[in-house]
C-alpha cells in the first residue's frame, strides 16, 4: 500500500478535467474554468480537458466522454486522476456510475468531485466503507434528481395543456399562436380560417347551397379550391382531418404513442420502443358540440364501402377481446363486386378514446372457420372438463345463494317503493332519477348472478352437456348452413378469445373454454395460424397451462426447465428421435400432474389409474414416478440444450372451411 501511495504522490501533478453538458445550446466553459481553479488549489499543474455534449442517461457502452477518458489514460498513465464538478457529470444512471466506479477501482484511478469534496481513494490508496456508501448514495441522488425534474416537467406540461397554454406540435388549422406575458404560448382563433371550418361543417351536413349531392369529402375539397379557401383545405386528406378534429369543440384528449428516450437516445435495448401517452388539451371553441357530433354520425353512416344490404350475424361477436378491454366488431364491405368481412377493435376507428393497442384487422372467414374447426376437434375435451368442474359444484349451495340473492332483490324493490313515495311528496326529479338508476343497476347485477347460477344448476341436473355433442354431430350440415346456429354453439363452447399477435404471416389466438369453475384457473388453448394464401392455412394448437407468450415468443415450462421458441419454430420439421425424447419427458410431466391431482378423485377413479399404471396404491405410484425421474435425469441434462421439449404439445388443427362463406368469394 505504501508503494501505491508513493506512486500516487509522484503522479499528483497530472489530472483530467471532465465536463459534460446535455444539449448543444449549453456552454461548458464556466465548468472548465471553475474546475481548473479547483484543481490548481489541490496542487495540480498539468491538465487534460475533456468536454462532451451528451445526455446523462446514456448507457456505459455509449458514453463517448468516458471512452475518451479511458483512451487518454491508456496512452498517458501519469494522468491517473479525474476531477469533475458533480456526480451527474459522469452519468445520471446509478448502474452506469457503479460500472465507472468498478473501472476506476480496478485501474487505481482517483476520482475527485468538487461540489461535495469527495475523493474515491484515501491517502493510503484504499476505498473505505464510508466512501463506498457515499458514492452509492450520491449516485442515487444523481439519478433521482433528474427523474424528479422530468416527472415535474411532465405534470406541469399536462396541466398547462389542460389550461390551453404551451400547446406543443404544429399549429392547428383554425388557430394562431399568441405569446402571453408569462412567456408561454396559447392559441387564439384565426377568424378567416375558423369561418372556413364552420362553412365546411355546414356544407358536409346540409350540402353546398342546399345541394346534398355535394357532400362527399372529394367534392367538398373541390369547393374549397373554387371558393379560394386556404391552401390547407385543398387536399382531401386535410378536409377529412378537419371534419374529424375534436379540438374545434374546445377540448380533446390525445391518445398517442411517443418514442421512448431510453431506447432511442440512451441505448437501453430492453426498454419499449414506444410509450402510450394521453394528454388533455383545451382550445378556444370554434364549433358547437352538437354540430360536431352530427357530422361525426353522418361520416360514420356515409361509409360508401360498408355493406348495408342486410343485418349481419357475426359469429364471434362478444368473444374476441382486445387488450384495450373492448370487443372486436365485424366490418362488412363490398369492394369491386366482392364481399369482404374482417374483425377489428371496436375503438380502432373512433375519434375519441381510440384503441391504443390496435393489433390490426384479420379475415372474418379465416377466424370463424378456425374457431369452429377448433370447437369440433375439442368438443369432447371441453365437455369432459365441463363435467369434471360441475361435479365439484354443490347444487344445494347454489340454490341457497339464489334464495339470498332474491331476498336482496326484494330489499331493493322496497327501497324503490320508498323513493317513489318520497318523489311524490318532494317532486325532486333529478335526485329521484339518480337514486332509482343506481338501484336499478344494483338489481340488474343481482339478476345476472341469479341467471348464471340457475344456468349451472339446469345444466347439471338435466345433463345438457351429454346432449350437446349429439346435437352438433347429428345436425352438423344444418348448423354449418346457418350463422345463428353456428354462433349459438360456438358461444356454448367458447367464452373468450384474445388476439395475442397479428402479422401478415402469423396470427396467435388464446381461446378460453366456456367452463365455470370455483378455482383460480381458466381452461384455454393457444391457436397459431400460418397464413399463405386464402384457404391455405397451417394451424397448430396447444394448452396454455404449459406456456406463456410475449413478443413473438412462447416459453415452455417443465418443472424448473425453460425452453423459449419463436412462432415460426412451430412450423419446422423435427427429427423423430427428438420427438420421442420429448414424449418421454412429457410422460414424466403427466405422471407428476396425475399424482398432484389424485387426491381430488373418488375411489373408483383412483382404482382405474392404479390398474392403468400397474400399481396397487398411491405409494407405489409415487415410487414408480420417482424411479422414472431418478433413473433418467442424466438423459434430461444431456438433451436439454438441443431438445425442443415443447414439440410434443404441438397438435395440428384440421381446418374446416365454413361453406356459408362460399358465395362471398364470387362476384
461: cell is 341436473
Distances (CA, A) of 146 to 54, 191, 465, 653: 15, 42, 62, 54
- Do 19 and 34 contact (CB within 8 A), yes or no? no
User: Parallel, antiparallel, or unpaired: how do β-strands 81-84 and 14-21 relate?
Assistant: parallel
* CA–CA gap between residue 29 and residue 8 (Å, rounded): 29
| 97: number of Cβ within 10 Å | 22
CATH entry, 175-301, from 3.40.50.150, 3.90.1750.20, 3.30.70.3170, 3.30.310.10: 3.90.1750.20
* CA–CA gap between residue 657 and residue 640 (Å, rounded): 39
Q: Terminal CA-to-CA distance of the chain, rounded, Å? A: 91
Grid cell 369543440 — which residue?
249
- Helical residues (DSSP H) of 235-363, grouped into ranges: 236-243, 261-264, 289-301
* CA–CA gap between residue 432 and residue 212 (Å, rounded): 45
- Do 38 and 114 contact (CB within 8 A), yes or no? yes
Q: Mean pLDDT for each 10-residue chunk of the chain (667 residues)?
A: 49 80 68 86 87 66 76 88 84 79 86 87 84 80 66 60 61 85 80 91 85 79 89 88 87 67 60 67 85 84 50 82 84 74 82 68 88 85 70 69 86 78 57 74 82 71 63 81 85 88 89 69 78 74 76 70 72 61 58 58 73 74 53 45 51 72 52
Where in the sequence of the chain do the CATH 3.40.50.1390 domains occur? Answer: 2-150
Contact partners, residue 235, CB within 8 Å, separation at least 6: 221
- 66 φ/ψ angles, rounded to the nearest 5 degrees: -75, -30
* CA–CA gap between residue 82 and residue 69 (Å, rounded): 9
Q: What is the pLDDT of residue 641?
A: 41
Q: At what angle do helices 191-206 and 217-226 cross, to 10 degrees?
A: 140
Grid cell 474546475 — which residue?
35
Grid cell 360514420 — which residue?
300
pTM for the full model?
A: 0.41
562: cell is 425453460
Please spell the DSSP secondary structure of 522-582, one letter per residue: --EEEEEEEEEETTEEEEEEEEGGGEEEETTEEEEEETTEEEEEEGGGGGS---HHHHHHH
Q: What is the pLDDT of residue 193?
A: 92
* CA–CA gap between residue 624 and residue 615 (Å, rounded): 8
- Helical residues (DSSP H) of 230-303, grouped into ranges: 236-243, 261-264, 289-301
Q: What is the pLDDT of residue 195?
A: 92
Q: Specify whether the backbone of 362 is left (phi greater than 0), alpha (psi in -120 to 50) or beta.
A: beta
CATH topology for 2-150 is: Rossmann fold (3.40.50)
DSSP H or E run through 20:
strand 14-21
Q: If 0-12 CB within 10 Å is exposed, 13-18 middle and 19+ buried, where does residue 1 land?
A: exposed
Classify residue 273 by its DSSP letter: S
Where in the sequence of the chain do the CATH 3.90.1750.20 domains occur? Answer: 175-301
Please spell the DSSP secondary structure of 459-516, one letter per residue: HHHTTHHHHHHHHHHHTHHHHHT-HHHHHHHHHHHEEEEEEEEE-SSEEEEEEEE---
* CA–CA gap between residue 348 and residue 405 (Å, rounded): 39
DSSP bridge pairs for 453: none
Which residue in 333, 332, 313, 340 sits closest to 666, CA to CA? 340
With b meaning 16 or more CB within 10 Å and e meaning fewer, what string describes 232-250? ebeebebbeebbebbbbbb
DSSP bridge pairs for 437: none
Distances (CA, A) of 403 to 332, 385, 406, 445, 462: 45, 28, 5, 15, 21
* CA–CA gap between residue 215 and residue 233 (Å, rounded): 15
* CA–CA gap between residue 9 and residue 368 (Å, rounded): 80
Amino acid at each position: 500500500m505504501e508503494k501505491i501511495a508513493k506512486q500516487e504522490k509522484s503522479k499528483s501533478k497530472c489530472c483530467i478535467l471532465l465536463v459534460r453538458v446535455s444539449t448543444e445550446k449549453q456552454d461548458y466553459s464556466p465548468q472548465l474554468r471553475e474546475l481548473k481553479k479547483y484543481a490548481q488549489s489541490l496542487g495540480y499543474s498539468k491538465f487534460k480537458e475533456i468536454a462532451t455534449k451528451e445526455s446523462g442517461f446514456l448507457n456505459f457502452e455509449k458514453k463517448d466522454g468516458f471512452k475518451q477518458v479511458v483512451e487518454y489514460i491508456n496512452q498517458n498513465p501519469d494522468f491517473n486522476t479525474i476531477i469533475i464538478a458533480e456526480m451527474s457529470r459522469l452519468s445520471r444512471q446509478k448502474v452506469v456510475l457503479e460500472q465507472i466506479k468498478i473501472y476506476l477501482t480496478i485501474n487505481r484511478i482517483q476520482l475527485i468531485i468538487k461540489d461535495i469534496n469527495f475523493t474515491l481513494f484515501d491517502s493510503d490508496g484504499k476505498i473505505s466503507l464510508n466512501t463506498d456508501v457515499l458514492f452509492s448514495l450520491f449516485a442515487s441522488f444523481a439519478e433521482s434528481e433528474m427523474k424528479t425534474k422530468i416527472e415535474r416537467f411532465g405534470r406541469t406540461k399536462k396541466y398547462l395543456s389542460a389550461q390551453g397554454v404551451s400547446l406543443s406540435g404544429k399549429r392547428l388549422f383554425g388557430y394562431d399562436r399568441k405569446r402571453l406575458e408569462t412567456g408561454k404560448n396559447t392559441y387564439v382563433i384565426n377568424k378567416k380560417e375558423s369561418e372556413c371550418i364552420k362553412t365546411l361543417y355546414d356544407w358536409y351536413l346540409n350540402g353546398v347551397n342546399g345541394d346534398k349531392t355535394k357532400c362527399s369529402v372529394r367534392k367538398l375539397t373541390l369547393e374549397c379550391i373554387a371558393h379560394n379557401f386556404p391552401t390547407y383545405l385543398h387536399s382531401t386528406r386535410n378536409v377529412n382531418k378537419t371534419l374529424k378534429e375534436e379540438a374545434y369543440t374546445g377540448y380533446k384528449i390525445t391518445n398517442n404513442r411517443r418514442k421512448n428516450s431510453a431506447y432511442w437516445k440512451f441505448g437501453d435495448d430492453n426498454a419499449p420502443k414506444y410509450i402510450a401517452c394521453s394528454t388533455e388539451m383545451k382550445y378556444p371553441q370554434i364549433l358547437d358540440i352538437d354540430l360536431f357530433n352530427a357530422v361525426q354520425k353522418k361520416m360514420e353512416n356515409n361509409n360508401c364501402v360498408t355493406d348495408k344490404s342486410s343485418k349481419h350475424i357475426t359469429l364471434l361477436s362478444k368473444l374476441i377481446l382486445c387488450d384495450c378491454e373492448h370487443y372486436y366488431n365485424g366490418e362488412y364491405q363490398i369492394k369491386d363486386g366482392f364481399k369482404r368481412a374482417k374483425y377489428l377493435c371496436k375503438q380502432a376507428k373512433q375519434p375519441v378514446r381510440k384503441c391504443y393497442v390496435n393489433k390490426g384487422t384479420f379475415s372474418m372467414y379465416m377466424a370463424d372457420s378456425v374457431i369452429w374447426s377448433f370447437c369440433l376437434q375439442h368438443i369432447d375435451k371441453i365437455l369432459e372438463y365441463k363435467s369434471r368442474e360441475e361435479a365439484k359444484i354443490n347444487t344445494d349451495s347454489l340454490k341457497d345463494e339464489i334464495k339470498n340473492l332474491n331476498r336482496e332483490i326484494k330489499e331493493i324493490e322496497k327501497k324503490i317503493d320508498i323513493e317513489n313515495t318520497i318523489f311524490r311528496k318532494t317532486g325532486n326529479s333529478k335526485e329521484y332519477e339518480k337514486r332509482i338508476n343506481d338501484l336499478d343497476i344494483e338489481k340488474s347485477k343481482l339478476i345476472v348472478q341469479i341467471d348464471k347460477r340457475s344456468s349451472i344448476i339446469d345444466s347439471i341436473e338435466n345433463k345438457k352437456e351429454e346432449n350437446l355433442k349429439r346435437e352438433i354431430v347429428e345436425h352438423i350440415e344444418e348448423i354449418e348452413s346457418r350463422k345463428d346456429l353456428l354462433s349459438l354453439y360456438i358461444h356454448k363452447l367458447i367464452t373468450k378469445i384474445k388476439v395475442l399477435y397479428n402479422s401478415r404471416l402469423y396470427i396467435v389466438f388464446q381461446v378460453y373454454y366456456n367452463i365455470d369453475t370455483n378455482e383460480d384457473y381458466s381452461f384455454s388453448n393457444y391457436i397459431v395460424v400460418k397464413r399463405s394464401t386464402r384457404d391455405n392455412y397451417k394451424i397448430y394448437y396447444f394448452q396454455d397451462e404449459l406456456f406463456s407468450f410475449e413478443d413473438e415468443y412462447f416459453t415452455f415450462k417443465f418443472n424448473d426447465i425453460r425452453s423459449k421458441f419463436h412462432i415460426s419454430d412451430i412450423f419446422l420439421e423435427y427429427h423423430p428421435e427428438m420427438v420421442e425424447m420429448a414424449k418421454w419427458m412429457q410422460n414424466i410431466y403427466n405422471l407428476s400432474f396425475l399424482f398432484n391431482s389424485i387426491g381430488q378423485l373418488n375411489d373408483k377413479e383412483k382404482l382405474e389409474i392404479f390398474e392403468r399404471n400397474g400399481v396397487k396404491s398411491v405409494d407405489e405410484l409415487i415410487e414408480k414416478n420417482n424411479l422414472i425421474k431418478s433413473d433418467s435425469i442424466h438423459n434430461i441434462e444431456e438433451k436439454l440444450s438441443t431438445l425442443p421439449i415443447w414439440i410434443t404439445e404441438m397438435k395440428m388443427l384440421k381446418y374446416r372451411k365454413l361453406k356459408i362463406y362460399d358465395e362471398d368469394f364470387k362476384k
